[in-house]
Amino acid sequence: MIITRIVGGLGNQMFQYAVGRALSIETDQTLKLDLTEMERYAVHAFQLEQFDIIYEVAERGEIPYPPRKSLFGRLVTKLKNRGRIPQLFEKTQSFDPNVMNWRGPAHLSGYWQSEKYFVRHADVIRQDFSLNQSYSHQRQNVFSMIRSVEEPISVHVRRGDYVTNQRANAIHGTCEPSWYEKAMARMAAKTPSPTFFIFSDDPEWARANLPRFDGAVFVEPQADGRDAEDMHLMAACHSHIIANSTFSWWGAWLNPRQEKHVIAPAQWFRSSERDSTDIVPSKWERL
C-alpha cells in the first residue's frame, strides 16, 4: 500500500496525490490518502473530491506516527511505528529519484513539486484530474468564450496570502506588473491573434495593474469552493502565463497540447533558501 499525506491548497494536494498515484502504479499497490492533517488544517479544505481520482482514505491504524525532534521522542516514535509501513520524507525541494525507485509499501510526506515524479504517467494523472461534474453556469459561459477565439491565453495573477501574510510573502513574493507586461508582450509577439483570459484572486488589482490588450477577458472568481473548474478553464486555453503558484502551474500542465507555450517566473521563490530548480518543466520558458 502507498499512503500519501495531503495538506495545503489545491495545487499542493494535487502534487501529493500525483506522486502517490505514480508510485502506486510503478509498484502495483493500492493508493490511500492520509487526511489527518487536513482535519486540523484551517487554511484550506480538502478539494481533490472535485476530480475523478482513484483512492481510499487511510485508516489511522495504517498511518505511521510522525517523528519527534528530541532523541527520546524519536525513540518512542520508532517503537510505536514497529510493524507500520516505512516513511518517505521529502529531503529536498529538487527531484529525488530515490523516491520513484522505492519498492514496497510507503507513507509519503512532502510537497513533491516537480513533474519528474509522475511525468511517466502523465496521461493517467491528467485523466484522474478530470472534473467529475459539469462547469457552473458562469464558468460554462467563460469556457464557451475560450472555445470561440483563435488563440486563448490564460494569465494567472496570484495575490491573496502572498500579499497579506508576512511569512508567505517572505517565502513566495509576488509577480510585479512589470513582469506581467514583459510576459504578455512576449506571448503577443509569438501569437498572431492572442486573447488573454486573466484569472486572479484579486481582480481589482489585476484590472488596475496589468497592461491593456484589446479583447482581454477578466474572469471573475467564484466563492463556491469549485476552484478546480477555474483551473480547467486555464487548461482549456492554448498557452499560459503562470504566477509563482501551484494553482496556475497545474492549469498549464493539465493542458495536453504539445505545442503550448508556457511562461513562468524565473524567480519562483522570493526566499533564496528555497530551491526551485525542478518546479518549472524544462519545456516551459522562465522569464
Q: Which one-letter amino acid corresponds to residue 264?
A: A
Instruction: Please give the pLDDT value at position 79.
Output: 59
Question: Does residue 141 sit in the same domain as residue 261?
Answer: yes
**Cβ contact 156:237 at 8 Å:** no
Question: Does residue 208 sit in the same domain as residue 272?
Answer: yes
Residue 77 confidence (pLDDT) above 60: no
Question: Does residue 120 sit in the same domain as residue 198?
Answer: no
Greater model confidence, 191 or 140: 140
Q: Range of 277's domain?
A: 137-286
**Cβ contact 241:154 at 8 Å:** yes
pTM metric for this prediction? 0.91
DSSP state, residue 68: P
Question: Does residue 187 sit in the same domain as residue 278?
Answer: yes
Last residue of a domain, one of 96, 128, 160: 128
User: CA quadruple 179, 277, 163, 261: dihedral positive or negative?
Assistant: positive
Beta strands in 85-158 (DSSP E): 87-89, 106-109, 151-157
Q: At 232, which CATH number?
A: 3.40.50.11350
Question: Does residue 183 sit in the same domain as residue 92?
Answer: no
Task: Give the chain's domain count.
Answer: 2
Question: Does residue 161 sit in the same domain as residue 83?
Answer: no
Instruction: Please give the pLDDT value at position 55.
Output: 83
Query: In angstroms, rounded to a whole number, what is the distance separating the alpha carbons of residues 214 and 147?
Result: 18
Question: Does residue 141 sit in the same domain as residue 268?
Answer: yes
Last residue of a domain, one of 128, 149, 167: 128
Query: In angstroms, rounded to a whole number, what is the distance separating the alpha carbons of residues 239 and 254?
Result: 11
Query: In angstroms, rounded to a whole number, what is the distance separating the alpha carbons of residues 247 and 225?
Result: 14
Write down the residue that cell numbers 477578466 correspond to. 218
Query: In angstroms, rounded to a whole number, what is the distance separating the alpha carbons of residues 270 and 40?
Result: 28
Write the Ramachandran bin of 160: left for phi over 0, alpha for psi from -120 to 50, otherwise beta: left
Question: Does residue 15 sit in the same domain as residue 111?
Answer: yes
Question: Does residue 226 sit in the same domain as residue 257?
Answer: yes
Query: In angstroms, rounded to a whole number, what is the distance separating the alpha carbons of residues 286 and 93?
Result: 18
Q: Could you give the count of Cα atoms lying within 13 Å of 51 in the half-sphere of its Cβ?
A: 25
Instruction: Please give the pLDDT value at position 159.
Output: 66
Beta strands in 201-259 (DSSP E): 217-219, 239-241
Last residue of a domain, one of 128, 147, 182: 128
Instruction: Please give the pLDDT value at position 14.
Output: 98
Question: Does residue 30 sit in the same domain as residue 150?
Answer: no
Residues 46-78 as b or e (16 or more Cβ within 10 Å = b): bbbebbebebeebeeebbbeeeeeeeeeeeeee
Question: Does residue 63 sit in the same domain as residue 141?
Answer: no
Least confident segment among 19-33, 66-80, 215-229, 273-287: 66-80
**Cβ contact 85:65 at 8 Å:** no
Q: Write out pLDDT tens, residues 253-283.
A: 999 999 999 999 998 877 676 777 899 999 9
**Cβ contact 6:37 at 8 Å:** yes
Q: Write out pLDDT tens, residues 125-179.
A: 999 999 999 999 999 999 999 999 999 999 999 765 554 455 645 455 677 999 9
Question: Does residue 114 sit in the same domain as residue 239?
Answer: no
